[in-house]
Structure formats: structure tokens, C-alpha cells
Chain A
Amino acid sequence: MRIAAGKRLAAFCLVAPLVVFLVLFFVWPLATMMSNAVSSPGAVQALPQTGEVLADWDRTSPPTADMQAALVEDLRAIEDDQTVGDITRQLNSAKSGFRTLMAKTVSAVREDTGPIDLVAIDKRWSQVPFWQAIAAATASPYTDRNLLAAVDLARSPTGEIVSLPDTRSANLAILQRTFVIAAGTTLACMLIGYPYAMVAASCTGWKRQAMLAAVLLPLWTSLLVRTAAWFILLQDSGLINRMLQALGIIDTPLALLFNRTGVIIAMTHVLLPFMVLPIFSVLIAIPSNLMPAAASLGANPLRAFWRVLLPLSLRGVVSGSLLVFMTSIGYYITPALIGGPTDQMISSVIAFYATGTANWGMAGALGIVLLVATIALYVVYDRLSSSEGQRA
């Protein structure tokens, strides 16, 4: 028993650095991001009395004096400006206008210690939507507002889930665009990568090494450098356009930069190894006499490919596609540098919320949407590959 326990301890010590690393740099940030997306504790903690009073409110009738008094009490109790700033930001992200309203109200509340008529300070306190925002914010420390907003939905004042108007959000459209670009990149990688892997697998010796090195080479260069290189190649007076013009194929330069074509070209170049390598490894494992066997049995090269090589290498194609697709839905730098405004992918929206407006809740929520989409894809792949394995 003691020996077994000692062994287990030793084994744990071996993986402990990995566990610590994963928890510190993977699990914890992920958990933080997710909790950021769904939590809104500021108002619940800072406005306890208001929350109590508002819990009994039906959210449609005009605001009462009790509600006003509770809010005034709560605001007086807050002493540091940081908390005021937090709840103001939280409320403002739900209903715009709170920034000026709160600034006005807080200074008025702090000047006067007696009962205050809030409507006298600002007429907006008589409007139901502002109280609805406070009620929603104080009702629970958790909120689905960010998650819903990430997919262009929102809670109506009465709590039902409704679509946001087109003018207020474009997340779904950007998500869809993200998937379209990722699918285009995957398809391009497949069409280039499969024949490439086939040729590489049929070569031997230094030729094969050279082909694999050529496909791996991009991985040894920084993504930024490669993207910048494409920027130079794809521009109107770039190498590609000049060569096509010199050959007389085109008269005016093709628009390759700041549009989707350029984005997909550059992303395909970067992600090609992830397609070529899985297909290559599956292809070299296929016995070399199967294709001659198919030919001897009367299959022309195309049919032999379709009936023998492709079914046997499908596993590599699927895992390659999955790798490329999953990686490309998170792409940020390449669309940002090479794409136009209509080629920005979901990660650029996440970056906007995270670094542009410090709205960590929205950034986290969009991240969760992306994570869920990726996991769903992986589950589909896993199902497909395991059922394939059972049949074989």
C-alpha cells in the first residue's frame, strides 16, 4: 500500500508542473473569462436596498417614492468613486444615458442629507426604462445579457428573449462571416494540400524531405512577418499583379488586398501545413500496392483514387480540415492587416470589446460563443471518427 501510494505521489510530482501551468494559464483565465461574461455583481452589492424594493416592482408601473428613497440611501452609503464608476458602467452598458444621469444624481445626493426627489434632479428618473435597467442589474449577480447580445438577442423589459434590431448589433453577421472565411480557407487548403500530400507521399528520399520542409517553412516564420509579406505581394503594384500584367493575362491590377480573396490567400498559406501533414501521415500509412492492385483489377486512375485512395485517406482530410477550420475561426492579425472592413472576423470584435471599450463581459461572452462552436465541431468530428473506427 505504502509503495503504491509513494509511486502515485511520484507520478503526480512528475505532472505537477504541467497541472500548475494548465491551471494558471489555461483553466483560470478561461474560468475568469466565462464568469466575466455572465456576472454583474457590482450593482447587487452596491445597491442592496434598491434591489430589495425593486424585487417587488412589476417593472411596468411608474416608479414609486419608495424606490427613489432606497436608491438615494444606497447611493449615499457608497463612499469610493471606484464603485460608483463600476455600477455606472454596468448600468450604462444596459441603457445609455446613465453616465450623465448618475454623475448628476451622485453629486446631488452627496450635497444634501435629507430626502430628495430624484425627478427634480433629472426628469429621466421618472422614466420606466432606467428603473428597469437598475432592477435587472440588482435582481441577480448573474446575467445572460452578454451571452444573448453575443448572438444578437436581448431580454425585453418584461424578460422575454427577443432579437436585437439590425442597427444595434452585427455579431451574428460577423460570426457567419467568420465561418464563411474559415470554410473558404479550409476548402482552399484541402484543394491545394491533398495533391501536395499525395506527391510528397509518393516521393522518396531528399525529394520528400524537401517537399515537407517547404510546407513546414512558413511555421518557422512569425505570423506577422508572413502576413506583411503577403501585404507586399498582393498589392496593386505587387509581385503577383505585375507578373500577371507582364504575362498579358490581365490589363488592370486585380484587387487582392483589403478584400476577402487576399484574406483567404494569406490564411491558406499560413494554415496549409495543418492540412498537408495529417493527410501525408495517413497517405504514407496506406500500403503502396493498393493502387497498382486497383489498376490491375480494371480501375482507371480516377476511379482507383475515388474508390480506394480517397476513402482510405478521408480520416486525414477530416482531421486536417478540422485543424484548419478551428484555427482559422480564431484568426485576427491576417484579416486585420489584409482584409477590408467587411472581412473582420469575430476575434476583432472580441478585441474591440476587450481593449477598445473594456467591456470584458461582452468579450468573454463572444469568446464563449466561439468556444462552444469549436467544441461542437470537435464533438461531431469525434463521433464521425469513432464510428469510422468501429466499422473498420
Chain B
Amino acid sequence: MTVAEVVERLELEALAAGELKATVAGGYCSDLLSDVLAHAQSGDMWITHQRHMNVVAVAKLKEVAAVILVRGAAPSAEMTGRARSEGVTILRSSASAFQVAGRLYQLLEG
């Protein structure tokens, strides 16, 4: 499944669109960036509340397929601007982390 398909199925909003044809391999849900650095896998959809600038750097380092901000979190223009220039995809859902993770799990593993 591609990022674009997940965007459509989970009704996500694309705040910064990188490679939407990338394959989604799995998911990781964490607000601790040190934990994401240690445990997220390349190709994961990273579900988080964090919207600090370092999210872009960590997403890029870990080569996640996309970041999904939950509960309608509003990132700064600086963060989305940086994501665009780094080719990092930032998506947003108005749903909670629990709901987004549950629906993504169903899509990928169900």
C-alpha cells in the first residue's frame, strides 16, 4: 500500500507532500523522539502529537514513509516549510492517535 492510498482511506490532510507513491511498510506510534530514533523502521507511518522542528529531522533520518499528526495538531509554517524542502511528508488527522493507529493497523494487517 502507498502513502497516497493511506491518505485516501484514512481521510488524511496532506500538509507537506513528499513521495506519496512510497510504500508503507508499517506504523510506529510515539511522542518521544529518542524512542522513534531507536525503534521506528524505514517505511513506517509515524503517528505523533509532536510538532517540534526536530520531527522533520527524525523523520528524514529514519526514512519514515510519512508523519501523521493526530487530533488536528497544527504545526508551525516553519515546520511544514522545512518538511517540504526536505521531501518529508506531513499528514494530519482530526482523529486520536488510538483511532488512527487502529485504522492503519486494519489497513496494513487486517
A and B associate: no
